Every structure is written in C-alpha cells, then in structure tokens.
Amino acid sequence: MDVRFDGVHALAEVDLALAPAEIVGLIGPNGAGKTTLVNAVSGFQRPTAGTIRLDGTDITGWPAHRRARAGVGRTFQSVRAFGALTVRENLEAGAYAVGRSRRAARALADETLELVGLTGAAGTLAGALAYGQERRLGIARALAAGPRFLLLDEPAAGLNEAETDDLLDLLRHIRAERGCGLLVIEHDMRLIMRLCERLQVLDHGRTIAAGSPAEVAGNQLVLAAYLGQRDSRQADERGGHAAG
C-alpha cells in the first residue's frame, strides 16, 4: 500500500496482515508512517495505491463507518470523548454508530464497562474522568462497536508504569474475552515487547523489519532508525542550548 501527500511518500509498498486473536505491534520513530497506515486501514485516509482486504473482500473504497460496521475498530491518540455524556452513554454512542438497537447498545455498553473495569464510573461524566480512566474509555468505546479487529493508536501515551502494566493486562484480557485481533501502535517498548507476538517496524514510510520481538530487537536497521532519531534529537537540543 502507498500513501502520498503532495509528493511526500508517507507510505511506500507497505504490506501488513492481522489475524483474529493476534496481537501485532506497529513501531517506528516519529514520522515513520504508523498513524497514516492505521488511518488508511480504518478508512480515514484513502491509499494512493494498493488494496485493503477484510476476510478476502476488497474494502479499499469503503468509508470509515462501513468498515466499523464490518468489524474494523480503532482508537485515536486523543480520546475524543463526549465530555458532557456519561461513561455509559459514550459507550452506547459507539454501539449506536454501528447500527445497534437501543436495548442492544445498553447491554453491550454494560458488558464492555465490566470488561475494561469502568463499571463503577458508568454514571460519571466523561469529562470528569481521571486521565488513566479516560484512556480506558477510549478503548471501551471502540469495543462497544463489537470489532473483530481493533487498531490502537498509542494507548499507553501519558500513563505511568503501574498504569501501563494494568493496560497490558487489559489488552490481553480483551483478546481472551473478545477474540479480536489487536494492532498496537506504541512507543513504550516495555509494553510492546511483553504484549505482542509479532512486530512490524516502519521508518520513512517503509517496512524495515518484521518478526518476533526478539528478532526485531536485534535488527540493525531498527537500531539505526531509533538511534539515528535519538542522536538527531540530542544534536538539536545541544544546538538549542548553544543558541540560548
């Protein structure tokens, strides 16, 4: 799959597969094309070239809402909760969006609240949640649509180590209970290496490595991509201090 923006090759010949009940990590330096890939798969970005298939069906031209109804769910880096609605109402909205009846939406919302550990906060306004609970709400709202494949864009962003450990347990629990495949974009390597069976690494819009966490961790192209980003950032910081 390819995605171009005004001549910039954001994704170039990227192939990715996700099976039911599989957990795959999508990693790479900032600007590598990870979110662009998830946007393309979930229908928020049209590929310039290539095909997206769901159970063998070409869904490349489908809008995001049709893909959601077919079982492709996602979260965003920012939760985008409806702050004036309760936690339960946010989940019901996710279920309504894929055509559930009011009764079915309420039942699925309550089931999902229990799954993610937010039952006690069901009547709380989403805008009043603590940060860690807000991150769980984002995952729960996507789950309320009943996805078979769930794409998670930096679910651990801003979480402390204990909260990240809880998130690890939650994602494993979601896979066990719902059987959905999980594609996880994340910069927290401690989480990714323990959570995922398989990793795919992007850099400058291309896949530079794919395999088990152990295989990827020792890949020289991966090390160069991450170390190159770190060295560049440190050089910028040194330059900034000197200019100051």
Residues 6+ apart with CB under 8 A from 196: 23, 24, 25, 184, 213
- Output 33 or 229, whichever has higher pLDDT: 33
Task: Give me the pLDDT at residue 86, please.
Answer: 97
Give the residue numbers spanning the domain of 117: 82-146
- Specify whether 8 is located in the same domain as 129: no
Report residue 232's pLDDT band, with 50, 70 and 90 as the boundaries. Answer: very low
- Specify whether 103 is located in the same domain as 171: no
| Average pLDDT over all residues of the chain | 90
Position 28 in a domain: yes
Report residue 228's pLDDT band, with 50, 70 and 90 as the boundaries. Answer: low
- Specify whether 36 is located in the same domain as 94: no
For the stretch 37-73, pLDDT in tens is 999 999 999 999 999 999 999 999 999 999 999 999 9
Task: Give me the pLDDT at residue 241, please.
Answer: 34
Q: What total of structural domains would you count in the chain? A: 2
The answer to whether 204 and 8 have CB atoms below 8 angstroms apart is: no
Query: What are residue 75's DSSP bridge partners?
Result: none
Position 77 in a domain: no
Q: How many CB atoms lie within 10 A of CB 61?
A: 10
Report residue 231's pLDDT band, with 50, 70 and 90 as the boundaries. Answer: very low
Report residue 203's pLDDT band, with 50, 70 and 90 as the boundaries. Answer: very high
Task: Give me the pLDDT at residue 48, please.
Answer: 95
Share of the chain above pLDDT 90, in %: 81
Tokens 């401690």 belong to 190
Tell me the average pLDDT across 121-139.
95
Tokens 């709400």 belong to 137
230 pLDDT higher than 70:
no
Q: How many CB atoms lie within 10 A of CB 191?
A: 21
- Specify whether 156 is located in the same domain as 215: yes
Task: Give me the pLDDT at residue 7, please.
Answer: 80
- Of the residues 146, 172, 197, which one is the last residue of a structural domain? 146
Share of the chain above pLDDT 70, in %: 93
Position 137 in a domain: yes
Task: Give me the pLDDT at residue 116, please.
Answer: 96
- Specify whether 188 is located in the same domain as 142: no
Domain of 157, CATH number, reads 3.40.50.300
Residues 6+ apart with CB under 8 A from 88: 106, 109, 110, 113, 122, 123
Residue 238 backbone dihedrals phi, psi, to 5 degrees: -65, -40
d(CA 81, CA 93): 10
Task: Give me the pLDDT at residue 22, please.
Answer: 97
